[in-house]
Amino acid sequence: MNIQEPLQLLGGLSPQTFMRRHWEKKPLLIRQAIPGFRPILDRTELLDLAAMDDVESRLVVQAVPGKEKTWRMRHGPLPRKVLPPFKQPKWTALVQGVDLHDERIHALMNQFRFVPDARLDDLMISYATDGGGVGPHFDSYDVFLLQAHGRRRWRIGRQKDMSLVPDMPLKILANFEPEMEFVLEPGDMLYLPPRWAHDGIAEGECMTYSIGFRSPCKGEVAREVLQRMAEQAEDEAGEAIYRDPKQEALTHTAEVPQAMVDFAVDAMQAALRDPLALQRALGEYLTEPKPNVWFAGGAELPTGGVRLDRRTRMLYDAKHIFINGESFRAGGRDAQLMRTLADQRYLPAGEMARLSEDARDLVSDWCESGWLYADQ
Ligand code: SIN
Ligand code: CO
């Protein structure tokens, strides 16, 4: 992708300008981001996905008229019999990670690959009957809301008061103060930075595609990275044993000796000393497949080019290649070729032929695991 070229998808802005002006800063409404856009999955196909065990889905229903204003939520799988009738207004089914299940949806999500892959999370599709939505709320991640079918009225605002309605099964802002309002038609798209309050209400039957970006919190990154580093800690810290030749006789023998504390601090620092260990753990964490992803057994290494399976996560840094939670040291031409594979998500036959024997063996293992396959 030429990141300096204006894109219809971004309302005539180049990815570079969009990132500078809008990303994490201010919303952008793009009329006809994808002209003539039609839903990729029809209602039946989407709801079939929502009924599957390995697909994450939710049903949100607002009280029927006459009853108290309230919300109900149910986690999937959502067999058809748990869904209200299509004639009943104000309910919505949300299907997460549709890109993992459909190649065309994955291809649509790839249009947003001007943002680091480490941030790109998933494509969620919502189906709503008239008046349906998930209520006024805010998210802690960036999102592009692409209207796929019917119309949706979005009200958005910077919202200072983040207090929520108590005792609700989903996060509903208690005092939503919208500042702007737009009605989106198929093909229109709205970009929202994290923590912008929003409320999208279906006007008639409606489907919206949300391209979401993950923003892990510091605590989660610390836990995930440390967990992985802990597995290596013994090797990194070494085998030196604790010694205390200067220890004196004590009466308060239950007290932890300061020398033991110092030894532990030293052991921790030794385990964390190698910055590459941290980078490895981070890359492994960032490429960990989603919990509901299973790779079916793959095939032998093809003679031609290869393409990453849509569910494969592949990243790299200066010293490593990361793929589906594993890390490999790579340098020289092999590293260059692997990076091309990660960036393009395919490697043509000519480039494959330039891989060293070791690297080919690795790619062959990945093929057998079903992480990549012959590029047709
Ligand atoms: C929806 O599509 O109904 C919800 C999307 C969102 O508000 O993030
Ligand atoms: Co939202």
Q: Which atom of ligand 1 is nearest to the CA of 92?
A: 3
Ligand 1 close to Cβ of residue 149 (< 6 A): no
Quote the pLDDT of residue 69.
Answer: 67
Cα distances from 18 to residues 36, 146, 323, in angstroms, run: 23, 16, 29
Q: What is the pLDDT of residues 79-119, one digit of tens each?
A: 999 999 999 999 999 999 999 999 999 999 999 999 999 99
Q: What is the pLDDT of residues 246-286, one digit of tens each?
A: 999 999 999 999 999 999 999 999 988 888 999 999 999 99
Torsion, CA 338, CA 339, CA 341, CA 342, rounded to 10: 120
Q: Per-residue pLDDT averaged across 337-362, rounded? A: 96
Q: Per-residue pLDDT averaged across 149-173, rounded? A: 95
Q: Hey, which residues does 306 pair with through a beta bridge?
A: 347, 374
User: Distance between CA atoms of 246 and 255, rounded to whole angstroms?
Assistant: 16
Q: What is the pLDDT of residues 7-38, one digit of tens each?
A: 999 999 999 999 999 999 999 999 999 999 99
User: Distance between CA atoms of 267 and 239, rounded to whole angstroms?
Assistant: 10
**Are β-strands 120-128 and 143-157 bridged in parallel, bridged antiparallel, or unpaired?**
unpaired
User: Distance between CA atoms of 27 and 38, rounded to whole angstroms?
Assistant: 24
pLDDT grade for 238, boundaries at 50, 70 and 90: confident
Q: For ligand 1, atom 1, which residue shows the shortest CA distance?
A: 126
User: Distance between CA atoms of 151 and 169, rounded to whole angstroms?
Assistant: 26
Q: What percent of the chain has pLDDT over 90?
A: 90
Compute the distance from residue 36 Cα to the ligand 2 centre, in Å. Answer: 24
Q: Which atom of ligand 1 is nearest to the CA of 125?
A: 2
Quote the pLDDT of residue 298.
Answer: 76
Q: Hey, which residues does 156 pair with through a beta bridge?
A: 180, 198
Ligand 1 close to Cβ of residue 199 (< 6 A): no
Q: Hey, which residues does 145 pair with through a beta bridge?
A: 190, 210
Quote the pLDDT of residue 65.
Answer: 58
User: Distance between CA atoms of 96 and 74, rounded to whole angstroms?
Assistant: 14
What does the mean pLDDT of the chain come to? 95
| Strand (E) or helix (H) holding 80 | none
Q: Which token pair is 122?
A: 């998933």
User: Distance between CA atoms of 256 and 249, rounded to whole angstroms?
Assistant: 14
Exposed (0-12), middle (13-18) or buried (19+): which is 196, by Cβ within 10 Å?
Answer: buried
Question: What residues sit around ligand 2, an ion, with C-beta below 5 angstroms?
Answer: 139
